[in-house]
Amino acid sequence: MPKVPLAVKIAVPIVGLLLTIGVTITAVGILKAWWSTPFSPVQPSGTQPIAFRHDLHVIAKIDCQFCHRGVTLTEAATLPSVEQCYFCHQVVLKDSPEVSKIAYAFQNGEPINWVRVHRLPDHVQFVHDSHVRFFAEQNGIAPSQACSICHGDVGSMKIAEQVRNLKMRDCVDCHRNRYLTYLAPDAAQRIRTAVVEGQRLPPPTDCAACHY
Amino acid sequence: MTTQHAQSPKWSMVVDADRCTGCQACVVACQAENNVPLNTDDIFKQKRAIEWIRIERYWEGEYPNIKARFLPVLCQHCENAPCEPVCPVYATYHNDQGMNVQIYNRCIGTRYCANNCPYNVRFFNFWEPVWPESLRNQLNPDVTVRSRGIMEKCSFCIQRIRAGTRRVKKEGRALADGDVVPACAQACPTDALVFGNMHDAGSRVRKMSEDKRHYRLLERSGTDPNVIYLKRVDPTATEGAGHE
């Protein structure tokens, strides 16, 4: 039996250990990336036709619903029309170069081609209305305070970006149990009891709740 | 919050074949509502046309005492659906509202379900659907446009069921007749198609399903459909006559 040098005897297990650690880190990284990457890559700021500042509008105490009017009424939260932007901005900051684009669009009857930030696949039907109203009613808060559950703190963003991955796992986890964590403790208890006693149906986890 | 026991509705349709005039309004309405691809001549000739609801025409009696009869046929939403156990990916299954649903994003297009369906109401997208430019803006945004390789079928206008139940919930009342009307039933000029909640003892479908004229398609096969047909047996008809 040939004599193995001491250096090799020490080096082999160390290299093996390092390889194992490396492979594990890579595997975990890939899995984590798969589960947490936003579905659509976040739009880099500046790709929007107008550098719209969500933070400034929120500082000005404008409610989300003032512009996203459909959010408690329809499936879509809706974007404001050019006319609605211009209604305020014919007076407010009308000399700013970004704001003057609104006046230009209004006077020429052109739409503003906003770049979509949150996009779900076509086979997913999401309804803003029922989600916003559920959290607002149960927590006793204003509808616009429920937006941040999915959209993050848009009020502190210069350019709006996607914060949650909004993949199916994200939706289904919430529909199973996590929705209770977004409720005030007493509201969560009330809902949990009602579901257990059969007075209230839990959030649907049926495929056809969203896919049709 | 309601104090009574929360219960899912069970959706059903009653088709009064005695009222059907075969006008095809339901077919057109369904095509428009559900983004069903356009069926051209050559697609028909290949027997690959997609019609979530179709009118079957047959003759009753012998010449000269012959009568044309019409039967609207749509997905029967069987309780014992033959299409369901053969799907390898669970793209079709029975949901808690008594509907046989098709999940497009799960479907891998094996077509086993269509082969196992005794009613021929499942359709396969052999091509990517195309619409002329003038029709692009008439697509219904609440319904997924099915791409090539996907099976599709009548969904009982599930988008209208969802919208109707949401509206009812918002108004804080119980589901009533007329809250959910599928496109075919809405378009029917003779009121031959009636849709409603079978769990509601006062609903029209429940009352009509107890009519003595009731029968179900291929009832002996044991599929237990959720679509109930009404047809008066013609006393002058002779047995076996008139079928092509």
Can you say how many angstroms the Cα of residue B150 is from the centroid of all Cα atoms in its chain? Answer: 18
* A107 domain-assigned: no
| Residue A8 falls inside a structural domain | yes
The length of chain A is 212
A145 lies in which domain range? 128-209
List b or e across A95-107, with b for residues whose CB sees 16 or more CB atoms inside 10 angstroms.
eeeebebbeebbe
Which residue of A123, A126, A192 is the best one to mutate when testing the B interface, meaning the one whose CB has the most B CBs within 10 A? A123
- Contacts of residue A11, defined as CB under 8 A and 6 or more positions apart, other chains included, come to none
Distance from CA of B185 to the nearest CA of A (A): 19
Query: Which of A122, A201, A206 is the closest to B144 by Cβ?
Result: A122
Provide the 10 A C-beta neighbour count for residue B164.
17
Question: Given CB atoms, is A129 within the 8 Å cutoff of chain B?
Answer: yes
Tens of pLDDT along chain B (244 residues)? Answer: 344 566 789 999 999 999 999 999 999 999 999 999 999 999 999 999 999 999 999 888 788 888 889 999 999 999 999 999 999 999 999 998 989 999 999 999 999 999 999 999 999 999 999 999 998 889 999 999 999 999 999 999 999 999 999 999 889 888 999 899 999 999 999 999 999 999 999 999 999 999 999 999 999 999 999 999 999 887 766 655 544 4
Give the chain B residue whose CA is nearest to the CA of A209: B162
| Residue-level pLDDT at A44 | 53
Nearest to B166 among A127, A206, A212 (CB): A127
Asked if the bond preceding B64 is cis, omega within 30° of 0, the reply is: yes
- B-proximal residues of A, 9-28, CB under 8 Å: none
Residue B4 distance to chain A (closest CA, Å): 6
Average pLDDT over residues A8-36: 88
Q: What is the dihedral of CA A205, A208, A210, A211, to 10 degrees?
A: 130
What is the DSSP code (8-state) at residue A203?
P
Question: pLDDT category, A161, cuts 50, 70, 90?
Answer: confident
Q: State pLDDT tens for residues A27-50.
A: 998 887 776 655 554 445 457 889
Q: Kindly state whether residue A62 falls inside one of the protein's structural domains.
A: no
Query: Across chain A, what does the average pLDDT equal?
Result: 88
Average pLDDT over residues A168-196: 91
pTM, to two decimals: 0.84
* Within a domain: A116: no
Contact status, residue A133 vs residue B167, Cβ threshold 8 Å: no
Q: Give the span between the Cα atoms of A114 and A131, in whole angstroms.
A: 24
Distance CA B20, CA B24 (A): 9
- Please determine, for residue A21, whether its predicted confidence score (pLDDT) is greater than 90: yes
pLDDT confidence of residue B244: 45
For B158, which of A122, A199, A212 is closest by C-beta distance? A212
CB contact under 8 A, B143 and A212: yes
Q: Is A119 on the interface with B (CB under 8 A)?
A: no
DSSP B62-121: -TTS-EEEEEEEE----TT-TTTTT-TT--EEE-TTS-EEE-TTT-----HHHHH-TT--
Is-contact B167 B187, C-beta < 8 A? no
- Cα A15 to the center of its chain, rounded Å: 43
Chain B CB contacts of A199 below 8 Å: 1-6
- Name the token pair of B126: 């052999």
Quote the CA–CA distance of A177 and A54 in Å, as a whole number.
31
CA distance B167 to A130: 9
- At residue B112, the pLDDT reads 95
User: Can you list the domains of chain B with their CATH numbers?
Assistant: 11-230 (3.30.70.20)
CA A60 to chain centre: 23
Q: Hey, is the C-beta of A133 within 8 angstroms of any chain B C-beta?
A: yes
> pLDDT by residue (tens digit) across A83-136?
999 999 999 998 899 999 999 999 999 999 998 888 888 899 999 999 999 999
Please check whether residue A71 lies inside any domain of the structure: no
Residue A48 located in a structural domain: no
CA distance A133 to chain B (A): 9
DSSP state of B12: E
Question: According to the model, what pLDDT value does residue B4 have?
Answer: 55
Per DSSP, what are the bridge partners of residue B54? B73
Domain count, chain A: 2
SS (H, E, C) A74-137: CCCCCCCCHHHHHHHHCCCCCCCHHHHHHHHHHHHCCCCCCCCCCCCCCCCCCCHHHHHHHHHH
Task: Please tell me which of the candidates A122, A133, A200 has its beta carbon nearest to residue B1.
Answer: A200
DSSP letter at B175 equals -
Work out the minimum CA distance from B145 to partner chain A, whole angstroms.
Answer: 8
User: Taking CB atoms and an 8 Å limit, are A207 and B103 in contact across chains?
Assistant: yes
Q: Which of A6-15, A27-36, A86-95, A196-205 has the lowest mean pLDDT?
A: A27-36
Residues of A in contact with B103 (CB under 8 A): 207-208, 211
